[in-house]
Amino acid sequence: MTTVSETSKLEGLNEPQLEAVKTIDGPLLILAGAGSGKTRVLTRRIAYLIGDIGVPPWRILAMTFTNKAAGEMRDRVEGLLDRPSRGMWIGTFHSVCARLLRTEHDAAGLGPNFSIYDSTDQLAVVRKVLKASGMSDKDFPPKQVRGRIGQAKNMMSDPDGFARTAHSYYEKQVADLYRGYQAELEASNAVDFDDLLMKSVRLLNDHPAVLKKYQERFEYILIDEYQDTNRPQYLLTRHLAASHQNLCVVGDDDQSIYAWRGADIRNILDFERDYPETTLIRLEQNYRSTQIILDASNAVIANNEGRKGKRLWTDRKGGEPIRLRWTFDEQDEARWLVTTVQELKGVGGLALREQAVLYRTNAQSRAIEEQLVRANLPYVIVGDVKFYERREIKDVLGYLRLIDNPLDVVSLARVINTPRRGIGDTSFNRMMDFAAGTGEGPYGLLGRAEEIPDLSRAAASKMKRFLAMIEAFREKADQIDVAELTLEVLKATDYAQSLGAAGQEEAEGRRRNLEELLANIEGYVDRAEDTSLGAYLREVSLMADVDEWDDRADALTLMTLHSAKGLEFRAVYITGLEEGLFPIVRAWDEEEEDSTEEERRLFYVGITRAKERLFLSHARQRRRFGGTQACHPSRFLAEIPERLLDEGRRVREVSVAEPARSRRDASPVRHVEVEPSATPSRPQADLFSDPESDDAEHEVGGDGETGSLSTETGAWVIHPYWGRGVIEARSGSGGDTKLTVRFQGMTKKIVLRYARLLPG
């Protein structure tokens, strides 16, 4: 019999959603298509477990990928239950792991107030280790080293494990840097984001009693966006769910777009193999888009072979055709785009915040921004300079982190002379050198600064005053909330005044950022149960780009397709639909099939962000890497049925020579041509000339070498799309030469004749 309370939690659910909510025993895989109401299902399921089945909240663990999603999930559950969800663990994978590590810090080998280093902090540590090792940051770019260390951690490989599998000179050097990097983190009682996951898995592996404790606690586990999980997240889930097996994962294999940062689509594709008793439920009814937009997305993604399969549909009838625009170049594309945005705002009544421009790479935004500025249209770039990475914000947070964790060397280095107090780089380096020699942490030396060799009396005195100030803050931190403490720090340091004279535009902007930070902290204090410094730092250290984005401001949104996942807009513009740009794979990529399928999933994500209107554009030529390149229309455009495109177009079939003819999807591209918005007066490059042979300076000789380019193992090269990399292996000869090249955050196997490599 269905109770009244049960009815309220199940009201408005369609049949598959209802089944997903009420299937509570055993493993459950919910394949949730874009816009199919997965958040509703997850929150109703949690509320059903607590309110109707009687499961205590503390026996439920729910993990997702952004703080925003986790907060929305918690708010909805509490709204359905009409009471706080105290005791339940709802958070991102990283926040749950941070909580686990702090609770079990002794077993994990960490101090209770460990710092979490963001990407900027990580780079600072890498640069420090590079300098200490005497290695050149040109041969070992810090971002590349950081990316390689992150890759290793995503594969659960510690410094020793990484060293055992390192074969090339480059990898062996990175192994040494990894060891030094990890030693610096440990000395600072700090972890990076990847450590949160890896150390949590190691904790459960190495401590059976800890594992049993959390297996018994979490009777029900729910994972959102399961297709985005990497190996540590997969292993964490396997460990925790091994006892009760009441594991519900929600995901969409068609939206798996993060392989480049470690996500493994096999986790969702093989879920039924991992859990043989799985119940599979498909959510295919879409509540976001028109059927025309859904038909386009279904047609495109059907070309992928590595998928479980589903077809989105909606009750909504009709809808506007998809508009496809041919433009001369990126400037013409930007002019057309801005004009269309203005038309929709003026005639169509669509506010700017209801429209979004999506692109494959950040570099594409420049031309669009120029036209928006000329048109005086406000816009916001998601993923631009993050609020919490602005200098003044990092400075204030640096003080707070040092107060919380005095072992944090990165924060100490940041604030010891900020604002300037007469402790320059020379004095600081002398202290660091002395600390390294004695094995003592630098913070502990501040009170005995007079013992540091060659340190002036004045500098020693200033170090002691700095220590006294921090210690006073540390004492107050136990007595007042984080908002009051932050005000105390700003007053005692005169930080706001140090930013510059009143009236200076940059200084005023930085002061406004400080005011926003204070407002954010006060907001945190108003809503949080734990208002302590440590609790605030745990939350703010795990913020993501989308968590900072304010969708209430009436401004046009610009973002990469990756950043757009999970969002929706009434009108969406996908720009730069050209071969080599989107998809960003070419003939030189030996792994093209997998890469193309991921790129197609990314296009599918972009299409399904649109609720009512979808605009697609491609340029005939585009300036890239200092020159103008002819562009072929993207193969994905040929996969959209013509009946879904706007009427009045002129269509001509154009056979585009695709190098990878073995690919079943490398069919001739249908070029749907619309009159350009501005007729070019200059000579037009041939759009359909062979892009692999139009540049004599890049022609490859019979020996596989390109001019002065060395293709020997260990040589550095520059790729037009992936940047600088080092050759790790070479096979074949002449036109069949193949190289294995390590670029930042990835390794690629490329065919030399197509690669257009330059000496690095």
Nearest one of 126, 627, 615, 710 to 338, comparing CA atoms: 615
| CA torsion, ordered 532, 536, 537, 540, to nearest 10 deg | 180
Nearest one of 748, 745, 753 to 729, comparing CA atoms: 748
Residue 158 neighbours by CB under 8 Å, 6+ apart? 152, 182, 198
- What would the pLDDT profile of 262-293 be if each residue is shown by its tens digit? 899 999 999 999 999 999 999 999 999 999 99
Residue 617 and residue 576 in contact, taking contact as beta carbons nearer than 8 Å: yes
What secondary structure letter does DSSP report for 682? S
CA-CA distance, 85 to 51, in Å (whole number)? Answer: 11
Residue 603 and residue 569 in contact, taking contact as beta carbons nearer than 8 Å: no
Residue 647 neighbours by CB under 8 Å, 6+ apart? 321
Spans of the chain below 70 pLDDT: 1-8, 384-386, 501-503, 544-552, 585-593, 624-626, 647-708, 720-722, 735, 744-745, 753-756
Q: What pLDDT, on the 0 to 100 scale, is given for residue 591?
A: 54
**Residue 380 DSSP SS3:** strand
CATH architecture entry for 15-108+195-285:
3-Layer(aba) Sandwich (3.40)
CA 447 to chain centre: 41
**Domain range list for the chain:** 15-108+195-285, 117-188, 322-378+553-646, 389-537, 715-759
Residue 463 neighbours by CB under 8 Å, 6+ apart? 416, 423, 427, 431, 446, 449
Class of domain 117-188: mainly alpha
Residue by residue, DSSP assigns 92-146 as EHHHHHHHHHHHTHHHHT--TT-EEE-HHHHHHHHHHHHHHHT--TTTS-HHHHH
Stated pTM of the model: 0.79
Distances in Å between the Cα of 633 and the Cα atoms of 324, 492, 654, 656 are 11, 59, 10, 9
- Phi, psi angle pair for 246, to nearest 5°: -85, 70
Q: What pLDDT, on the 0 to 100 scale, is given for residue 629?
A: 83
What secondary structure letter does DSSP report for 744? T
Which listed CATH number (3.40.30.10, 3.30.70.141, 3.30.950.10, 3.40.50.300) goes with 322-378+553-646? Answer: 3.40.50.300
What secondary structure letter does DSSP report for 321? P
> In the numeric block, which tokens belong to residue 560?
């990469």
Nearest one of 727, 739, 661, 657 to 693, comparing CA atoms: 657
Residue 614 and residue 324 in contact, taking contact as beta carbons nearer than 8 Å: no
CA-CA distance, 295 to 638, in Å (whole number)? Answer: 14
CA-CA distance, 399 to 465, in Å (whole number)? Answer: 15
- What would the pLDDT profile of 14-73 be if each residue is shown by its tens digit? 999 999 999 999 999 999 999 999 999 999 999 999 999 999 999 999 999 988 888 889
Distances in Å between the Cα of 53 and the Cα atoms of 29, 62, 135, 278, 308 are 20, 17, 60, 21, 31
Question: 313 exposed, middle or buried (CB, 10 Å; 0-12, 13-18, 19+)?
Answer: middle
Domains 322-378+553-646 and 389-537 are alike in CATH topology: no
Nearest one of 250, 244, 249, 248 to 218, comparing CA atoms: 244
Q: Which residues are designated catalytic?
A: 38-39, 224-225, 255, 609
CA-CA distance, 701 to 735, in Å (whole number)? Answer: 8
- Phi, psi angle pair for 180, to nearest 5°: -65, -40
Any idea which fold 389-537 has? PCRA; domain 4 (1.10.486)
Question: 14 exposed, middle or buried (CB, 10 Å; 0-12, 13-18, 19+)?
Answer: middle
